[in-house]
Amino acid sequence: MLRRQIAAVVLILVFAAIPVSAGSSSAKTLKALIVDGQNNHNWQETTPVLKKLLEQTGLYKVDVATSPAKKEPMEDFKPAFARYDVVICNYTGDEWPAKTRKAFERYMKNGGGLVVFHAADNAFPQWPAYNEMIAIGGWGGRNEKSGPMVRWRDGKVVYDTSDGKGGQHPPQHEFQVITRDKQHPITAGLPEKWMHASDELYSALRGPAKNMTVLATAYCDPDQKNGTGEHEPVLFTIDYGKGRVFHTVLGHAGAHMECVGFIVTLQRRTEWAATGRVTQKHVPADFPKPDRVSRRPGHKEPKKSK
């Protein structure tokens, strides 16, 4: 028994002594936590894809906190948020226990990072702090009482307070993402317009919409079922206390996450949420064009050109 303990200690020391590798020699490894376990989407498929895409950069070490299943006791679900530089929310489901919600609010107010991924903006319609973090969300009974819709009209953000439910989307289709903030570290250097692989274009999301910066929008064609005829925010940031939030409505399932535009903005935005900076300034040659989708089948990295 004693020998086994000594062996374990030696093993820990050996691993502790191995230097961590990172994509950039000056960057420290960022600790990322994906939270999942319940979702009206296939989180069992998307979490490994998120993990793989982040780890491809060499910048992140990614852990996963999986909640109990729906309706199972939740009181012991207490992810150690404070140990991480960034939390990626791939969760929508039962309420977290009060202590976990408070710990998450504290983590964010004190300067934590959060990436809100697709259906995570369906989560927690009754949790005021979470709705401030995500700025706008959909479904779960959201309506005009949840806050305005946010649209891009005539070159600026417009808050639309008209009545109606929050959250809808046309059938999956390819749509063009238009960068509205070219200075932000996440979008700097990317083409102004790029075609996103067939996905759900979340529209008419509603919420407090405070401290929100729209980085990119997509036009929701009124000729489609559930089309709003508005430029809907698809990539945006939110300041919450000292914390940084990045919210993307893109990424319904693994196939949609093969889009190179999705991949590059995921890799950049997670770093920004963690540190407030983006060191990944390179725009890969296979980035989508204004009128043409570009995918990485199986989320494989392209061969690096020299």
- Closest by alpha carbon to 265, among 157, 166, 200, 189? 189
Question: How big is the site for Zn ion, counted in residues (CB under 5 A)?
Answer: 2
Upper half-sphere CA count for residue 104 (Cβ side, 13 Å): 24
Here the tokens at position 132 are: 């401030």
CB of 48 vs Zn ion, minimal distance in Å: 17
Residues 101-130 binding Zn ion (CB under 5 A) are: none
Element (H, E) at 106: helix 98-109
Cβ nearer to Zn ion, comparing 206 with 252: 252
Residue among 94, 105, 132, 200 that touches Zn ion (CB under 5 A):
200
User: What is d(CA 240, CA 252) in angstroms, rounded to the nearest whole number?
Assistant: 25
User: What is d(CA 148, CA 135) in angstroms, rounded to the nearest whole number?
Assistant: 10
Cβ nearer to Zn ion, comparing 30 with 120: 120
Q: How far is CA 149 from CA 63, 66, 105, in A?
A: 34, 31, 24
Cβ nearer to Zn ion, comparing 47 with 275: 47
User: What is d(CA 176, CA 217) in angstroms, rounded to the nearest whole number?
Assistant: 8
Cβ nearer to Zn ion, comparing 85 with 199: 199
Q: In this chain, which stretch among 78-86, 216-224, 245-253, 280-288 interacts with Zn ion, using CB under 5 A?
A: 245-253
Q: In this chain, which stretch among 74-82, 159-167, 197-205, 291-299 interacts with Zn ion, using CB under 5 A?
A: 197-205
CB of 200 vs Zn ion, minimal distance in Å: 5
Cβ nearer to Zn ion, comparing 184 with 252: 252
User: What is d(CA 59, CA 40) in angstroms, rounded to the nearest whole number?
Assistant: 30
Query: Does 252 contact Zn ion by CB under 5 A?
Result: yes
CB of 258 vs Zn ion, minimal distance in Å: 15
Q: In this chain, which stretch among 65-73, 153-161, 199-207, 272-280 interacts with Zn ion, using CB under 5 A?
A: 199-207
Cβ nearer to Zn ion, comparing 252 with 296: 252
CB of 256 vs Zn ion, minimal distance in Å: 8
User: What is d(CA 277, CA 269) in angstroms, rounded to the nearest whole number?
Assistant: 9
User: What is d(CA 54, CA 267) in angstroms, rounded to the nearest whole number?
Assistant: 6
C-beta separation of 101 from 289 below 8 A: no
Q: Nearest-CB residue to Zn ion?
A: 252
Interacting residue ranges for Zn ion, rule: CB under 5 A:
200, 252
